[in-house]
Amino acid sequence: MTYRNFLRFAFLFLMIGFIASSCSKIEETTDEEVGMVSEDKKLVKGNFTSGAHATSGEAFVYDDNGTKKLGFVNFKTDSGPDLRIYLAEDTKATNFVQVSGSVSNGTYSVDLPANADFAKKKHVLIWCKAFSVLFGSAELK
Number of domains in the chain: 1
pLDDT at residue 22, rounded to an integer: 44
pLDDT at residue 94, rounded to an integer: 84
pLDDT at residue 5, rounded to an integer: 65
Residues near 133 by beta carbon (within 8 Å), at least 6 away in sequence: 51, 52, 53, 80, 127
Distance in angstroms (rounded) separating the CA atoms of residues 20 and 130: 13
> What is the domain extent for residue 77?
26-139
The answer to whether position 84 is within a domain reads yes
pLDDT bracket for residue 107 (50, 70, 90): very high
The answer to whether position 14 is within a domain reads no
The answer to whether position 15 is within a domain reads no
DSSP run (H or E) holding 6: helix 3-22
Q: pTM of the prediction?
A: 0.80
- What mean pLDDT value characterizes the chain? 87
In this predicted structure, the answer to whether residue 24 has a pLDDT above a threshold of 60 is no
Range of lowest pLDDT (2-6, 13-17, 31-35, 45-49): 13-17
In this predicted structure, the answer to whether residue 36 has a pLDDT above a threshold of 80 is yes
The answer to whether position 4 is within a domain reads no
The answer to whether position 95 is within a domain reads yes
The answer to whether position 85 is within a domain reads yes
Distance in angstroms (rounded) separating the CA atoms of residues 104 and 132: 19
pLDDT at residue 34, rounded to an integer: 85
The answer to whether position 116 is within a domain reads yes
DSSP run (H or E) holding 105: strand 105-111
The answer to whether position 93 is within a domain reads yes
pLDDT bracket for residue 21 (50, 70, 90): very low
The neighbouring-strand residues paired with 96 are: 88
pLDDT bracket for residue 35 (50, 70, 90): confident
